Amino acid sequence: MKPKIQVLVAEPSDIIREGLRSLLDEDDFVLQAPLRDLPLDAPQRIARQQPDVLIMNPTLLNKPSRMQLVSIQQARTSMVVVALVYEYVEPELLSQFKTVLDIREKGSRVAQLLRDCCQEEREEDEGYELSERETEVLVLLAKGCSSKEIADKLNISVHTVNTHRKNITRKTGIKSVAGLAVYAMLHNLVVG
Amino acid sequence: MKKHGLYTGRTKMADVVATNHTLILAMPRLGIALGFGERSVQEICHEKGLPVEFVLLIFNVYTFDDYLPDEEELAATDFGPLVPYLEASHRYYLNERLPHIERHLLHVAGSAGERYGTILKCFFEDYRKEVVEHFESEERDVFPYMEGLLHGGQKVERLPSHFADNHTDLVDKLKDLTQILYKYIPSEGFEEELNELVFAILQLSADLEKHAVLEERVLLPYIQQLERRQADEA
């Protein structure tokens, strides 16, 4: 079973907090006791409660406490901080958030949006080393095999090969087969 | 329809290049050179006998990432100089930019040691071949078709379906090369040469990206518009 996603909401409006709670009323979410504002001990609370996602009204950062987003993020670096936006927010401030949840977003999409963010965060956490399987796929690509041929050789589906390819590109920053071949040569995975 | 923020005929040419200096490299392909004085885009176009709307379209596509002309603008633009412009771009990439990159790359390959040098040279040679083939096929198949549609007397039966297939590939490969240079080539002792090479590649890759937008998202829709018009008339 997939791990549950711990969600913390920081939002002054009762109506919006309640709305979010009902939209996230699904098995894979756990909602922690929400915050109405950002108390001075917010970083400590976050460090204690370990939420995976913080959905936060960015205007809370402008309040007298002058809390910096960076100190909230530092309390838990793997936490995805989502800006919940329903009024004008300076783009500069907004750009510090991992993603933006617009108040006009379709209710049915909200849960999936959060799942996708967490998934991305987890993938980035895996680091940039190629796994053994990915290395095998890379070597075959470098030798000029098509996805279909690789699937046959490794006894996996073409879909899985393509997932490996996507991960290889994400980790190396290299898209083209020619570029991957160079990567393989430079890492002594194939003979040039 | 008036769009905000885009260049217009009344924009001073000097202001155009002040906001996007990379256009300086595209202008020779239109026959425009520096030394604008206070003249506007439309004044310079009139002098050079270039259609203003066409030149503005090129400038705007090159400068504003999300700008694309709509159907109306396409229909109202004189695309006479488009094919000569694209051909001039091909010549510029082949005869100036690629040799420029090659010079820097040979420097780096020479300094990086045989193993790295050979791999880099091979990659670049393959890339150049691919670019040449791509341009040749466009000049053989696509441009004559477009000219036929524009000026009547169709020379090519129909547009080859593979057009626009490998534009992204040409750009991707350059980006991959920069990634490889950033990460995996030890640069000790020739840091500056490597930086020069990277900048030369980035410049070409940005130019090719816009070139691809012109071909795929301006030329192609325009061809389709002309085809529809011809079909209506027939």
Nearest neighbour of A178 by CB, restricted to B116, B126, B179: B126
**What pLDDT, on a 0 to 100 scale, did the predictor assign at position B207?**
95
Tens digit of pLDDT at every position of chain B (234 positions):
345 679 999 999 999 999 999 999 999 999 999 999 999 999 999 999 999 999 999 999 999 887 889 989 999 999 999 999 999 999 999 999 999 999 999 999 999 989 999 999 999 999 999 999 999 989 998 888 888 888 876 555 666 666 666 678 899 999 999 999 999 998 888 999 999 999 999 999 999 999 999 988 898 889 888 888 888 887
Q: Do A186 and B184 touch (CB under 8 A)?
A: yes
Question: Is A30 touching B (CB cutoff 8 A)?
Answer: no
Q: DSSP assignment of A61-91, as one string? A: GGSTT---HHHHHHH-TTPEEEEEESS---H
Least confident segment among A42-51, A124-133, B188-197: A124-133
**What pLDDT, on a 0 to 100 scale, did the predictor assign at position B1?**
36
Chain A CB contacts of B184 below 8 Å: 183, 186-187
Gap between the Cα atoms of B67 and B72, Å rounded: 14
Average pLDDT, chain A: 89
Question: Is B104 touching A (CB cutoff 8 A)?
Answer: no
Residue A177: closest C-alpha in chain B: B173
Q: Do B119 and A179 touch (CB under 8 A)?
A: no
Instruction: Please state the CATH superfamily assignment of the domain spanning residues A5-125 in this structure.
Output: Response regulator (3.40.50.2300)
CB B115 within 8 A of CB A170: no
Distance from CA of B176 to the nearest CA of A (A): 5
Gap between the Cα atoms of A60 and A10, Å rounded: 8
pLDDT at A137 over 80: yes
Max mean pLDDT among A55-69, A96-110, A170-184, B151-165 falls in A170-184
CA proximity to A6, closest of A35, A30, A25, A28: A30
Candidates 3.40.50.11270, 3.90.480.10, 1.10.3720.10, 1.10.10.10; CATH matching A132-186: 1.10.10.10
| Residue of A174, A180, A189 best to disrupt the B interface, most CBs of B under 10 A | A174
**Backbone torsions φ then ψ of A52, nearest 5 degrees:** -85, -30
Q: Do A179 and B183 touch (CB under 8 A)?
A: no
ipTM over the 0.95 cut-off: no
Least confident segment among A2-16, A55-69, A79-93, B135-149: A55-69
Domain ranges of chain A: 5-125, 132-186
**What pLDDT, on a 0 to 100 scale, did the predictor assign at position A116?**
87
Nearest neighbour of A173 by CB, restricted to B119, B169, B179: B179
**What pLDDT, on a 0 to 100 scale, did the predictor assign at position A111?**
92
Residue A174: closest C-alpha in chain B: B176
Q: Do B176 and A186 touch (CB under 8 A)?
A: no
Nearest neighbour of A174 by CB, restricted to B119, B126, B176: B176
| Residue of B131, B176, B179, B181 best to disrupt the A interface, most CBs of A under 10 A | B176
Question: Is B105 touching A (CB cutoff 8 A)?
Answer: no
**What pLDDT, on a 0 to 100 scale, did the predictor assign at position A3?**
77
Gap between the Cα atoms of B68 and B57, Å rounded: 8
Buried b (16+ CB within 10 A) or exposed e, B69-99: beeebbeebebebbbebbebbbebbeeebbe
> Mutual orientation of helices A177-186 and A158-172 as an angle, nearest 10°?
70
Return the H-helix or E-strand segment holding A10. strand A5-10
- The string of pLDDT tens digits covering residues A7-18 is 999 999 999 999
